Amino acid sequence: MSRKYFGTDGVRGKVGTEPMTADFAMRLASAAAQVLIPDGGTVLIGKDTRLSGYMFESALEAGFVAAGIDVLLLGPLPTPGIAQLTQQFMADLGVVISASHNLYEDNGIKFFDRSGAKLSDDIERKIEAHLAKPAITRESGLLGKAKRIDTARVRYQEFAASTFPAGQTLKDFKIVFDGANGAGYKVGPRTLSALGADVIPIGCSPNGRNINDGCGSTHTELLQLTVPAVRANVGIALDGDGDRVVMVDEFGKLVDGDQMLYILATALHRSGRLTGPVVGTVMSNLGLEHALNSVDIEFRRAAVGDRYVLETLRETGGVIGGETSGHMIVLDQTTTGDGLVCALQILAVMKETGRTLSELAAGMSKYPQVMLNVRTGKQFDPAASAVIQEAVVAAENELAKSGRVVLRASGTEPVIRVMVEGENHAQVVALAERLAAVVAVAAR
């Protein structure tokens, strides 16, 4: 049975439109409480910097307290910080209010279990089954309590810093940090500064409306200009909720999730700490697979979404995986994607090897890859269209064995992502545009 509200990363949508309303948030909290902690317990709630976060925080708090659950309010904190503190506080559930890399008009709600892992598809279906019912309110003596935790930010900063090698510092490193005007706007600069780095912050002045707006991991133009302009060693860009990261080398060139995965995997391999395969997704660049295979590192592909990368890592005994977008999972350090922690691991490799980021990334050659988003206005499965599948087969035949074609429906919006990669850039562009045109017509 498919899920109606939950996508690849929780529930998400435009604020004021179902499901992102105060009423729905209250019912979602009540449903989650009934499914996961029917006999009472403790829930942590954190958020990013969106204006609507106040509303959803209050609605979720009301829903959980009415269901007899105690609530700890963390305030603005990166998603991985909420996952980590769920474990620290031995809470039964962690809740994040965020729409990740989307603009402020959107928001979302996602959950972590007591181990700091995201919920399974099956549990999300069970929660959805309760959503048709009104939120419950227990009798007065059985209601939960709520309080705000003022130490949450410091606790996460200390955790993130602890993942950097003991005895090492970032002294003599100049780092430009872009917080996307989001949840990492304070913890990022403060953690890096505490480790000795000279930090130049940009995108660290949230006002409730400017999250991901021309900044962060999805808009790195300013970061790419700033790093070489101030002669920084490196640039770091998180997304709005801090679970993704991309980096910029000393020349201002973007280093994406595939390249970071290559750097971390080969470093772990050299040190003998790499176990199991490295896990990417169906969208990971073919150059990553070839580069890892060339040094005898196994590579596996999972479905798009960090939860599926994590599932594959656990199934295969792997410790590192991620997505091109910069959603990285380093299981010997964290339980979920953590942009700041991942960046610290890259900085540790730079420090250990004495090599620049550009030198470390040079070991992987990226294949030309083009991804076009075709907005459909409705949910649409490209695999169900014979016309589209015929066009895909034709494109694959044209690429022969030197490239790939991937079509997939977005899990968070009515968009079909058309990805083509291969050795010849002009051919890749032409095939992607041809397929996008076919999808646009078929999806009407």
User: What is the CA 358 to chain-centroid distance, rounded?
Assistant: 24
- Dihedral class, residue 96 (left if φ above 0, else alpha if ψ from -120 to 50, else beta): beta
Taking alpha carbons only, the member of 151, 78, 89 closest to residue 115 is 89
Active site residue: 100, 217, 325, 385, which one?
100
Number of neighbouring beta carbons within 10 Å of residue 400: 9
Taking alpha carbons only, the member of 340, 401, 410, 328 closest to residue 371 is 410
Taking alpha carbons only, the member of 169, 346, 357 closest to residue 265 is 346
For the chain, give percent helix, strand, coil, nearest 5.
Answer: 40, 20, 40
Residue 124 · residue 6 · CB < 8 Å: yes
Distances (CA, A) of 326 to 32, 46, 120, 198: 29, 22, 22, 23
Order of strands, sheet of 69-76, starting from the edge strand that comes earlier in the sequence:
6-7, 10-14, 106-113, 93-97, 41-47, 69-76, 146-148
Taking alpha carbons only, the member of 253, 262, 264 closest to residue 341 is 264
Secondary structure of residue 41 in the 3-state scheme: strand
- Dihedral class, residue 115 (left if φ above 0, else alpha if ψ from -120 to 50, else beta): alpha
Secondary structure of residue 264 in the 3-state scheme: helix
Stretch (H or E) spanning 421: strand 415-422
- The question of whether 2 is a catalytic residue gets the answer no
Residues forming the active site: 100
